[in-house]
Each structure stands twice: as structure tokens, then as C-alpha cells.
Structure 1
Amino acid sequence: MDVTIRQGWFRAGSPFGQATLLSAVITALAVSVLFGPNGQSVLFLLGVGITFGGYLLVLWLVLQRAAVQVDNPVLTLASRITAIRATGAVLLGGFIVAGTGAETANWLPAVLFAAVAALDGIDGYVARRMDETSTFGGEFDTQVDAFAILIGTIVAVRLGAAPAVFVAIGLYQYVFFLGKKLRQHKGYAVHDLPPRKRRTYVGATSMIAVFVVLLPGVPSGVTWFLAVIAMIPITYSFAVDWLYAIGWMSHT
């Protein structure tokens, strides 16, 4: 049964709130056991907590943007799947502080990110199949994509699998958003971007690049090279969108 966001999202007593909180806590504790009693489990949980704070900020931004379009956004099944994806990204953030450590944990960053990426196709399919597409759902999906990519790039750099500049592809979405807000605040025109398939391809490229770089056992020289190569089309796409948004060129 669908519930409105304000009725069900932040209430700890709601079934959705309880399930989300419980699954996150149990999964985080289970993963932390892999590190053993050497203090790394505490670092992992600390990383999860910090990342969860970032997720709450993202969620707040989504709700603010959706509220402009919809008086009472609805929490559909598709949006709940998107929330599960966000939980995976939050758990991935634990490795930012803890690293991997135990051999078993070496695969977990790639596995978690792969799960988040795989569910990206499922939530969209469910939304279309059940006729649940909405402004809120689309915005939520987009922001969770950006959040997962940002966390994935930071983890890749933390593990030494990519150069620090790789984090840029995770920051582009936020820099773009803040740049638009700054221009609007100063009274400059900002143009809406028309739909383009190119962004879908770029999003897929970002997901694939982060996943491959996170795979254990791949020589760092190879992952660094792949990370830099992947940045070229992604950087180009955001540059084109920015120039269009500020009116310097027609969209291509």
C-alpha cells in the first residue's frame, strides 16, 4: 500500500521506517564482523554513520525539489526499491573509513556497488510497469544514482584503485546543481536541459567504471588507466550540459 512521504518516511514507528532502519543496522553489524575485533569494525560503522548523514542531506534535497511539483509525494514500491539502493550506498561508505582489511571483505565494495547499480534498472522498470512514475520518484532515483557514484569513487580512491581526480565524476552532479543555484541567486538565466540519451549512456559509463575499478585483484595501473579514460566522456557530457544551461551554446 502506498503512503505519502510525510506520513511514512520519517516516522520510526512506520513499517517502512522500521524495516529500513533494522536492515541497515543488521547488515552493517554483519559486515563489521568480517573485520574481526581489531577496531576496524568500529571504523566501518563510523563510516556508515557519516555516509548516512550525507544520505539524509540528499533525501532532504529531494523532498525540497519534489515539494515544488507535488503537494503530497507518494512513497511507491519503486521508490522503496530506490531507498534500498540508497541503503547499499550508505553501507559502501563504511569502507571510506575502514578500508577492506580482511580478505573476505575485499570483494564487498564491488558487490555492494553492483547491487546498487543492478537495482537501478529494477526500480525504473517497476515504476513504469505499475504506472508509478512521478516527479518525486524520478528525482529520488537521479539523486541516489549521483550519491552512489560519489561514494563509489571515494571508496575507489581510498583503496588506492583510482587517482584522486576520479572523485570528480562523483562531484559533477553536485557542482552542476550548486552552479545553477548560484547563477539563479545572482539573477543570471539558467536554461532547463531537454532530455538526451547521452546522459543515460554517461550514467551507465559511470556505474560500469566505478564497478570495474572497485574489483579486487585488478592491477592498480590498469584501474587507474580505466578511471582516467572513463572520465573523458563523462566530463565532456557535463561540460556540454553546463554550457547549454548558461546559454553559451545550443544543446547537442
Structure 2
Amino acid sequence: MLYGAGCALDAVDGFLARRLDRRTVLGAKLDMAFDTTGFLVAPVVAVLWGQLPIWYLSLSAARYLFKAGRGLRRRRGLPVYDLPDSLIRRPLAGLQMAFITLALSPLLGLAAIRLPALLVLVPSLAVFLRDYLVVSGRLRA
């Protein structure tokens, strides 16, 4: 419940910041830190509790692999392109947060959660892959 409440407050905060045009660089960095931490810690807890299959942790790894790949390109002197705005990233992140909240609850067991986990995981992994192809210049956005 705490993870779900934190996600809901994060969504409200982001909505208000955009709506009232009160966005800041610090706020954006804190939001990304909260989201990244949540996508790491919450799925690990759900796997440890037997509420999510271990392969779901590929979502947790995807963000760090994306950042590592981008950083490696910079260190090698290769071009790193900016990500354009996306209409799908934010809704997918919200879907993941809602799903992880559900998975952390005792409402569904591992057997019931496997297929929904796959259905929400695959699009997110596909977006990480697409985004990496964009920042590496292999795909135009």
C-alpha cells in the first residue's frame, strides 16, 4: 500500500507541476530518482515475497542497462542523441506502477500474475530498446 500511495502522490505532484507550469530541474531529477528506485526495489520485494516471477526483474535491469549503454557511448566518444518527447513512456510507467502495486498486494498469487506480468512487461522492454536505438542513432524518432 505504501508503494502504491507513493506512486499516486508522485503522479499528483507531476500533474500539478506540469499543470501549474512549476517544473524544475531538481523536481525532474527527484521524480526520475523515485521512479527508478521504485522500479528496482518494489519488483525485487515482490519477487522475494513470491508475488512476481524472477524474470520480471528485467524491468529493473532495463533502466540501468539503458543508462550504462548511453554512458558507455559517451565515454567512447560516440554520439548520444536526445530522446524526443513520447506519448507512451509516461502511461507505460503508470501502468507498471499500478501493476507492481497490485503484485505487492496479497490479492493475486504468482500463478495468477504470470500472464499479466508478461503482458505489461513486454511493451516496457520494447520502449527501452526503442529508446536506446534512438539515443544511439540507429533509429530516428
TM-score with structure 2 length normalisation? 0.92
**Structure of greater relative contact order (alpha carbons < 8 Å, 6+ residues apart):** 2
Cα distance in 2 between the residues matched to 1:184 and 1:149: 25
Task: Tell me the equivalent position of 1:168.
Answer: 58
Task: Tell me the equivalent position of 1:221.
Answer: 111
Cα distance in 1 between the residues matched to 2:60 and 2:33: 11
Cα distance in 1 between the residues matched to 2:118 and 2:20: 39
- Is the 8 Å Cα contact of residues 161 and 224 (structure 1) preserved in structure 2? no
Deviation at 1:131, TM superposition (A): 4.3
Task: Tell me the equivalent position of 2:138.
Answer: 248
Task: Tell me the equivalent position of 2:70.
Answer: 180
Query: Could you tell me the percent identity over the aligned residues?
Result: 28
TM-score with structure 1 length normalisation? 0.53
What is the count of residue pairs matched by the alignment?
Answer: 141
* 1:121 aligns with one of 3, 8, 11: 11
- Is the 8 Å Cα contact of residues 51 and 104 (structure 2) preserved in structure 1? yes
Give unpaired runs (5+ residues) of structure 1. Answer: 1-110
> Which amino acid in 2 is paired with 1:160?
G
Task: Tell me the equivalent position of 2:35.
Answer: 145
Deviation at 1:129, TM superposition (A): 5.5
Closer, same or farther: CA 194–129 of 1 in aligned 2, 3 Å: closer
- Is the 8 Å Cα contact of residues 116 and 148 (structure 1) preserved in structure 2? no
Cα distance in 2 between the residues matched to 1:249 and 1:226: 29
Task: Tell me the equivalent position of 1:155.
Answer: 45
> Which amino acid in 1 is paired with 2:127?
S
| SS at structure 1 position matched to 2:88 | helix
Deviations 1:2-35 (A, max 9, x none): xxxxxxxxxxxxxxxxxxxxxxxxxxxxxxxxxx
- Is the 8 Å Cα contact of residues 162 and 220 (structure 1) preserved in structure 2? yes
Cα distance in 2 between the residues matched to 1:129 and 1:247: 32
CA RMSD of the aligned region, Å?
A: 1.5
Closer, same or farther: CA 195–214 of 1 in aligned 2, 3 Å: same
Choose 1 or 2 for highest CA Rg: 1
Give unpaired runs (5+ residues) of structure 2. Answer: none
Deviations 1:150-208 (A, max 9, x none): 11110110011111111111222222111111111011111110111111121112112
Which moved further from structure 2: 130-139 or 177-186?
Answer: 130-139
Cα distance in 2 between the residues matched to 1:156 and 1:228: 15
Deviation at 1:217, TM superposition (A): 3.4
